[in-house]
Structure 1
């Protein structure tokens, strides 16, 4: 027992497990990886909450409302041009002749301004979307717990009912049969 005890103490002694430590060199410990992954996700959610959790002031709300105006105005303005072309073609044609005189560099500048505006707007909206995703992901554990609680309330179904005999019973219940009580009652009636 002394030699075996010393070998076991060498391998497993001192609170160490040499076999486990050697195996973890070649294969990752799944439980430790799960703990690290959960900690990483928790830190990411905390970062999202800290970054996007600030309350917005009246100026931010007003600027957001102002930023919402150009797209509808452009869309309705374009539709208005079609209506103007049908209502007063001469007026519309004279305005389009004026637009034809705008030099190309000015069109390029306008295109750059509009592109940067909508690009910045897209970036703001994508950040708000990320914030809403982070808030939704923070609710996942509660939703999963609620779903599990609801699933636990579901009645356990053992099997399926056999219906072959029930069909025969249904047919026999609607078939006319001899009823002595009914026959006596009918005989007693005048």
Structure 2
């Protein structure tokens, strides 16, 4: 019994656990690890709370914090607004999109750089293509102007805008009902 007692005393004696101490060299003690993780979490939350504490901020700091929070919601709501305007007033929306078609490519690049920079991304613009893109964009001006004129002509704000005039062929085509292939198949199936 004395030999076993000395052996256990060697391993677990003097208030130490040699096995545990040896294992902890290769594997973290789970209880100690969770205590450290809790301390880190508590410190992070304290720091976060102190950073956003309104009590120690002045009026200018609060204004700038509010201003810095605006771009993301404005971009998201503006994009949704474009979809709504396209559904509610398609001709108005089409006219605006024709105007956007005239924006030169390098200006789109610049906008992309600004937005990308704001959201943390990097973007490079190739200076050699700058002049070529401007010329290419300006070549579209006559076509865009024709499209705007055609869109304005389509406005249904006055009486008689759908008048076919003296065109007998167009009048006949407008008064004849359209052919409905699904309805014809259904009618034929009912007759059989």
Range into which the TM-score falls when normalised by the shorter chain? 0.3 to 0.5
Higher relative CO (Cα under 8 Å, sequence separation at least 6) belongs to 1
Q: Provide the TM-score with structure 1 as the length reference.
A: 0.39
As a proportion of its length, which structure holds more helix? Answer: 1
Task: Give the number of the structure whose alpha-carbon radius of gyration is greater.
Answer: 1
